[in-house]
Structure 1
Amino acid sequence: MEDESYQALNDNTPFVAWIHNISLNQQKYMKSKFNELDLGHDVRYIMFIYDNPNCSQEDVANMFCQSKGNIAKTLRKLEEQGFIQREVNPENRRKYMLNTTEKGRNLVPEYRRISKEWEMEVGITEDDIEVKRRIMEIAKRGMNLIEDN
């Protein structure tokens, strides 16, 4: 028997709504596991900075389709919490280079381990690598569409 709360989700539901649903459910699960940190979606910025050392605030804003002001505010909070550090870029003193601190670097592997557990629980397997690649391609095209307009 199908749960009534899912009646609105059906074959006519836009593809992006399903992806959004997956993302929100994964975030809720992760928040329950890292509740004491109260990071919510902000952990994605730590992950991006971890994977892209010396990236800029603009890189983060572009990746997550957020305004530079919102990103600056969130990064300031993450810096105050000790997860990241911002350093002036010596090549362009108006920009910051972002890096994770030891606290941020310690969080990432644990977060990824629990995220992988969630994926296994919901049925995402290594066999889905092609689906992941395809979704990444779609995401990149979407970002390019925005940049081109």
Structure 2
Amino acid sequence: MDDKSHQAIKDSSPFVAWIHNISLNQQKYMKAKFNELDLGHDVRYIMYIYDNPDCSQEDLVNMFSQSKGNIAKVLKKMEDEGFIKRDVNPENRRKYMLYTTEKGNELVPKYRELSKKWEEEVGITDKDAELKKRLKEIAIRGMNLIEE
């Protein structure tokens, strides 16, 4: 590794800065490989909806710690681009249930395959299962802290 080109990565850098750097670089990689799509971090919403059919806008607000307005704007864009659809919740007509469309359903496996390739290229392996578990625990604790 060329130390001059990666001067921002220091042992003294905050841990969260490393996580942010990893996330941004993964998104840049994905965008370069999926250059026909300009989804950036918004693809996480499609992934969540794909994995959680019938979820609501409120579920996304809680999961991603985003404002209702921001989530609404992103969902409108995703709907306009044909990745998701919204159906009125028959139990609460003021809420919508979210689903991926055929286009969204085709995107998710391709995205996951490419994401797995990125992980392999940067050195994330099955040996990192404990690290992944620990990071998930930290993420959950962080979410719980802001709910208190």
Q: Does 1:88 align with 2:88?
A: yes
In 1, Cα distance between equivalents of 2:118 and 2:41: 16
For normalisation by structure 2, the TM-score amounts to 0.97
**Partners of 1:121 and 1:33 in 2: CA distance:** 14
Deviation at 1:4, TM superposition (A): 1.7
- Where do 1:57-76 residues align within 5 Å? 57-76=57-76
Aligned equivalents of 2:90, 2:68: Cα separation in 1: 20
1:80 Cα deviation from its structure 2 partner: 0.5
Segments of 4+ moved more than 6 angstroms: none
Deviation at 1:74, TM superposition (A): 0.4
User: Does residue 1:141 correspond to 2:144, yes or no?
Assistant: no
> Aligned partners of 2:107, 2:86: CA distance in 1, in Å?
18
Give the TM-score, by structure 1 length. 0.96
Which residue does the alignment assign to 1:125?
Answer: 125
| Higher deviation after alignment, 108-117 or 8-17 | 8-17
Equivalent in the alignment of 2:4: 4
Query: C-alpha displacement at 1:117, in angstroms?
Result: 0.4
CA deviation profile, 1:25-70 (whole Å, cap 9, x unmatched) = 0000000111111111111100010011110101111111110100
Give the SS at the match of 1:37.
coil
**Counterpart Cα distance in 1 of 2:130 and 2:89:** 37
SS in 2 for 1:47: helix
For the residue of structure 2 that corresponds to 1:35, the secondary structure is coil
- Give the drift of 1:5: 3.2
CA distance in 2, matches of 1:121, 1:8: 21
CA RMSD across the alignment: 1.0
The amino acid of 2:127's aligned partner reads D
Q: In the TM superposition, what whole-angstrom CA distance separates every residue of 1:101-143 from its partner, at most 9, and x where no partner exists? A: 0100010000000100000000000110111111011001100
Q: Distance in 2 between matches of 1:5 and 1:62?
A: 37
Partner of 1:43: 43
Give how far 1:93 is off: 1.0
Distance in 2, matches of 1:57 and 1:146, equals 19
| 2:52 matched residue in structure 1 | 52
- Deviation of the 1:144 alpha carbon: 0.6
Tell me, which stretches of 5 or more residues in structure 1 are unaligned?
none
